[in-house]
Structure 1
């Protein structure tokens, strides 16, 4: 097992493409996103009833990168570009991975 860092971004579906582009530009080799629902400072959002064409729905985006510095640079870029005008939260956490080469650029 090898140490790595997982970054997690929960935000509005409308900016999914822009956020994932920043993740890739930041050096991640891939990402996963899933519909997300919950309650926060901007009210409740349902993953099962997202509204018209997915408007007002959230996504959870996860990516594993080789080191914490890369993860922090990616979430900082996302927050700087989007979080003033869109809802969002981002965090990093240490993880252990089996195949390190899958996450190195």
Structure 2
């Protein structure tokens, strides 16, 4: 059985990982995936995988499947309002045609 969903992607600084995760949980999402991320944006180059003195300056990418667009926008708005003025970050939605083999999300 397949289900429809919205996928929210949030890329931000690793030091915010617990705070962003709390926003996702508080919004009612049942889970998320977090991976190290690197790249270049308006706030310079961020690298993933290179040794540094501290990984405080590295980025992470959250992927959150939500049952509807409204929940995804609620999470995105909260993260942006709390962090994106002072920290690097971007959030965007991806269309999910259908979720296959999902127990619950």
Structure 1 length normalisation: TM-score?
Answer: 0.92
Which position in structure 2 is the counterpart of 1:78?
Answer: 79
Q: Supply the distance in 1 between the matched residues of 2:89 and 2:32 (Cα, whole angstroms).
A: 17
5+ residue gaps, structure 2, are none
Summarize deviations over 1:24-61 as a string: whole Å, max 9, x none. 10111001100000000011111012632311100001
Preserved contact between residue 36 and residue 46 of structure 1 (Cα < 8 Å): yes
Q: What is the 5 A alignment of 1:12-31?
A: 12-31=13-32
Q: What is the 5 A alignment of 1:1-105?
A: 1-49=2-50, 51-95=52-96, 96-99=98-101, 102-103=104-105
Preserved contact between residue 65 and residue 71 of structure 1 (Cα < 8 Å): yes
Q: CA RMSD in A?
A: 1.3
Q: How many residues of Structure 1 are paired with residues of Structure 2 in the alignment?
A: 103
Q: Supply the distance in 2 between the matched residues of 1:50 and 1:61 (Cα, whole angstroms).
A: 22
